Chains A and B, each alone.
Chain A
Amino acid sequence: MMIEEVGYLAKLADKELTMTQRMKIKKSTLKRIGLAMLVYFSTMITFSRVF
């Protein structure tokens, strides 16, 4: 499978990993989810001041 193929990473994950393995979340991803929630709360605070 060439790396340039469209959908390469998703196909590879489906082929190589079981559903349970795909359920695992990397630490770096957890950090980014935390950051996204920070963005969410900051936005809501901004909304409460603006509207």
Chain B
Amino acid sequence: MLELIPLVIILAFLFETMDSCAGMGFGTGLTPLLFLLGYEPLQVVPILLISEAITGFTAGFFHQEFENVNFNFKKSLNRETKIMLNIALLGIFAIVLSVFLTYYSVKLEKSIIQTYVAILVIVMGIIAMFKLKSKSSSYKPKLLTLFSVLAGFNKGIGAGGYGPVVMLGQIFSGIYEKTATAIVSVSEGLVSVAGVAAFVLIPVFSNQPIGIDFYLLPSVFTGGFIAAIFSPYLVRVFPNKLWRIVIPVYALVIGLYVLLKLYVL
């Protein structure tokens, strides 16, 4: 019997709305909340990856539909498509590495690396807020590669914070906020597909199969999917100057939330 949990649907909807509008927060925000509600890691982590894979592509499709971005896969790839693929490839490499490290029990001090990512996100958020008044700059591909590698490195060592670093990195590199959001959505979709594959395949190959509990999937999928259609519309309708404020403020909130979770809650 299919069971839908209203609270999980609402939470998934809210966090996916913010993720598809501001390019971050679905995993970082929703995972600890679901743990607090008493769900186990194997009920939460793979389900969020599956959901993020579907919603990432859905949001990307509707970002394209609402003209927040112009991906072009025909003939030669345009710049926006190349940027998305570059970010996604680095993320895919990182997430496979991250799952390997987890399964082969390479122990890194989780609280230290999460503190480092939280501080990095807060600092980037503050810098982005200081840059609010400056005019949008020209596209800087080298800087974007640097931030993509940094975000991939963070994800690879299991610290999360991939969305905020890639999103703010794009803004620092001169990419228009609305378009950066769309690029992150599709990149995260591709990275999540790799994450799901790694989550399922690596334990199988290492003869340690794991049992994924799909109990939360219908609820997370319902909230996330509806948000993935709705959010690109919000991004189109509201002016870019609003997203220029929302994105760094939300990054600050996420960074502070991670620090609070680590040291206070």
- Residues on A facing B (Cβ under 8 Å): 4-11, 13-14, 19, 22-23, 25, 29, 32-33, 36, 40, 43-44, 47-48, 51
In whole angstroms, what is the CA distance A33 to B62 when docked? 9
Taking a contact as CB atoms under 8 Å apart, the answer to whether B217 and A10 are in contact is: no
Query: Which residue of the partner chain, among A4, A9, A47, contacts B69 with CB atoms under 8 Å?
Result: A9
Is B114's CB within 8 Å of the partner chain A?
no
Taking a contact as CB atoms under 8 Å apart, the answer to whether A25 and B79 are in contact is: no
Query: Which residue of the partner chain, among B65, B79, B175, contacts A29 with CB atoms under 8 Å?
Result: B65
Taking a contact as CB atoms under 8 Å apart, the answer to whether A7 and B178 are in contact is: yes
- How close is B95's CB to chain A, nearest CB, in angstroms? 24
* Chain A neighbourhood of B2, CB < 8 A: 44, 47-48, 51
Taking a contact as CB atoms under 8 Å apart, the answer to whether A4 and B78 are in contact is: yes
Is B139's CB within 8 Å of the partner chain A?
yes
Subset of 16 A-B contacts with CB under 8 Å: A7-B180, A9-B68, A10-B67, A11-B176, A22-B237, A23-B237, A29-B65, A32-B62, A33-B62, A33-B229, A36-B225, A43-B221, A44-B218, A47-B214, A47-B217, A48-B2
- How close is B169's CB to chain A, nearest CB, in angstroms? 14
Query: Which residue of the partner chain, among B61, B70, B139, B237, contacts A9 with CB atoms under 8 Å?
Result: B70
Is B22's CB within 8 Å of the partner chain A?
no
In whole angstroms, what is the CA distance A47 to B214 when docked? 9
Taking a contact as CB atoms under 8 Å apart, the answer to whether B58 and A36 are in contact is: yes
Is B239's CB within 8 Å of the partner chain A?
yes
Query: Which residue of the partner chain, among A4, A6, A22, A43, contacts B179 with CB atoms under 8 Å?
Result: A6
- Residues on B facing A (Cβ under 8 Å): 1-2, 58, 61-62, 65-70, 78-80, 83, 139, 174-176, 178-180, 214-215, 217-218, 221-222, 225-226, 229, 233, 236-240
CB-CB under 8 A for A9 and B225, given A14-B240, A48-B2 = no
Q: Identify the closest chain B residue to A13 (Cβ).
A: B67
CB-CB under 8 A for A6 and B139, given A14-B240, A25-B233 = yes
Q: Identify the closest chain A residue to B2 (Cβ).
A: A48
- How close is B33's CB to chain A, nearest CB, in angstroms? 22
* Chain A neighbourhood of B218, CB < 8 A: 44, 47-48, 51
CB-CB under 8 A for A9 and B214, given A33-B229, A40-B225 = no
* Chain A neighbourhood of B179, CB < 8 A: 6-7, 10
